[in-house]
A and B are shown apart, each in its own frame.
Chain A
Amino acid sequence: MGRRIGVRLLSSVPALFGVLVFTFLLMRVLPGDPAVFFAAGANAGQAEIDMVREQMGLDKPLHEQLVRYLWDITRGNLGNSMTTGQPVRTDLIERLPASLELTFSALLLALTLALPLGVLAALRPGTIVDHFVRFLCTLGVCVPTFVSGLLLIYVFYYLLNWAPDPTGRIDIFAANAPEITGFLLIDFALVRDWSAWRAAAGQLILPASTMALFVLAPLARMTRASMLAVLGSDFVRTAKSLGLSDLRIIVVYALRNALLPVLTISGIVFSTMLGANVLVEKVFSWPGVASYALDALLASDYAPVQGFVLLMATIFVMVNLLIDILYGVADPRATVA
């Protein structure tokens, strides 16, 4: 097992290296002078631009720049943000927990909805349940996250007044967040501050639902399709003939086997979610990495954008790695490619 993981870790190195080089090319070679970007925007003095160019080594040939860039990255130096005046790395570390908390809650929510819905639809194909699931899924992919988010705000904040003010992560009047993991739900649970926990969960529920709705469709459809295939297989027939209870057959035998394809597409789902994060964070003024990068992008501050793109790609490569490993755990027949 350890060897397998090691092999797979090594095989993701080329992907990461490709991501680094591509980001480098994207920011350095395309039109526009990075020295101007990294100095202080378009209205920096010529002397300052020249100084930055020399500092960044932009007067050197391209391959030397690449080596220098890779060296900077390995030391964790992502440059400075001119909007916040801090190193990009500090900013990203500060804001990453907010984004991850949102993404993981949404994924959890989507899975807890999608799996039962998919299973139900597969158990009763062609019935009302099946059509309802299909309808919900079709709708889920067609409504853009920024529209569904805003409509949820309208219904649950403006009309029903159930949800709190949809700006940011936590009510400013609530207790100060303890700095343990950065994940508010975990932190408040650890210090047993349940009223603050409820406030944090209240802020989280709408953005998380928005994202969950968007990725519900692929998960539920895949669950339904693979569950249908598994339910028709020999081992399910055998389990039935042995007189096992329906619940045991479905949950223990069928679902476990049906989950493999679902696991495979969760990589694509995660990629969609990292993208949807940008839109959802914008709609809900969520203080995560995506809204940070977006603010920087609109202010022509490129170091944070570059850092953000690298961070997202790295997370995505890591998630794919994790999925591959989980796949091996769930299905010992699968080999590491």
Chain B
Amino acid sequence: MSGTLRHVGWVLRGNPMTAAAAVGASLLLFIAFFAPWLAPYDPIASNVPIALQPPSAAHWAGTDQLGRDVFSRILYGTRVDLAIAFSAVSLSFVIGAVVGSFCGYVGGTLDRVVGRLVDVLMAFPLFVLAMALVAALGNSIENIIIATAFINLPFYIRFARAEVNVRRNLGWVEAARASGDSDISVVLRFLLPNILPAMAVQISLNLGWAILNAAGLSFIGLGITPPTAEWGIMVAEGARFITSGHWWLVAFPGLALMLAVLCFNLLGDGLRDILDPRMRT
């Protein structure tokens, strides 16, 4: 185990950007877990006398129209946004990996039917599809997660299918079959673990995208309801004050969003470079 850790350390020293992204991502997770202890103020307690104050020593990111501390709200928002992104991505990863693997392994009718369904999903502009799903399922956080997971699903299915398809007749898969493993066991115990590293890249790249998507949906008023501190809704509330010059209401949550997406994207790019040097751009 210490050998693996040493190898990871060696790889990260050679890729400073990836290392920085990894640190950033861990920091985000840390903030998400410990927001209540880190935040200097209550994220939803309004304090109208100090409404709309620019950034100062007491309020690092200023205060909003109800006098709430923007910095504390951003810290709490990390929780909501990461929770949505992580649940959505894990949901689509689990379903997509299993369905895609079986399609790639079994082939035939199952593969064709699923392939057609994926084609139909891909025929929709994805954000619009997410909007439609939330409209049809009802306006709630759970449904934002389901919608975000759903629009990610085609990528995982296609990816897992392609990866399993090239491995299905390799020697070690034959060996597993020959030693009496059932098809289900071959897929779940041998093929899935084998394609996991490649899928990790996809997951990391997807996390950033899922965050953008969830924040976009809550920006247009879907899913999350106002008193909740969440980045998209904070930007939406701040939008009303941008033409009167209160830039910090939009800029700081926007910066948080940007940094989060940047971390996960760089991490994904770095992982891809480490796993597959041919894809380096």
Contact = CB atoms under 8 A, between A and B. Distances in A.
Interface residues of B, number: 48
Contacts of B20: none
A276 B132 CA distance: 15
Contacts, number: 151
B162 interface: no
B119 A158 contact: no
Interface in A138-156: 138-139, 141-148, 150-151, 153-154
A10 B266 CA distance: 41
Interface stretch (B41-49, B68-76, B170-178, B212-220): B212-220
27 contacts: A18-B120, A19-B120, A21-B120, A22-B120, A30-B137, A141-B261, A144-B257, A144-B258, A146-B239, A150-B235, A151-B247, A154-B247, A157-B243, A158-B243, A158-B247, A271-B126, A272-B127, A274-B125, A275-B126, A275-B216, A278-B128, A279-B127, A279-B216, A294-B131, A309-B131, A309-B132, A313-B125
Interface string B206-238: 001000100110011110000000001001101
A306 B126 CA distance: 15
A159 B123 CA distance: 41
A26 B133 contact: yes
Contact of A18 (B119, B215, B266): B119
A253 interface: no
Contacts of A308: 128
Interface in B32-76: none
A151 B251 contact: yes
Interface in A293-337: 293-294, 297-298, 302, 305-306, 308-309, 312-313, 316-317, 320
Contacts of B244: 158
A32 interface: yes
B116 A18 contact: yes
B262 A142 contact: yes
A118 to B, nearest CB: 12
B276 to A, nearest CB: 15
A18 B137 contact: no
B120 A302 contact: no
A55 to B, nearest CB: 21
B136 interface: yes
Interface in A151-169: 151, 153-154, 157-158, 165-166
Contacts of A26: 132-133, 136
Contact of A141 (B220, B236, B265): B265
Contacts of A66: none
A144 B125 contact: no
A276 B127 contact: yes
A313 B136 contact: no
Contacts of A276: 127
Given A138-B265, A282-B220, A297 B135 contact: yes
B interface SS class:
helix
B131 A316 contact: no
A144 B138 contact: no
Contact of A305 (B119, B132, B265, B281): B132
Nearest to A224: B281
Given A16-B123, A150-B238, A270-B125, 6 more contacts: A14-B116, A19-B124, A22-B121, A145-B216, A154-B242, A313-B124
Given A154-B245, A282-B219, A271 B136 contact: no
Given A144-B254, A150-B235, A18 B123 contact: yes
Contact of A274 (B128, B215, B253, B262): B128
B262 A144 contact: no
A122 B115 CA distance: 36
A31 B261 contact: no
Which of B127, B133, B261 has the most A CB atoms < 10 Å from its CB? B127
B243 A153 contact: yes
A308 B124 CA distance: 11
Contact of B127 (A22, A275, A320): A275
Interface string A266-296: 0000111011101100110000000001100
Contacts of B250: 147, 150-151, 154
A183 to B, nearest CB: 21
B186 interface: no
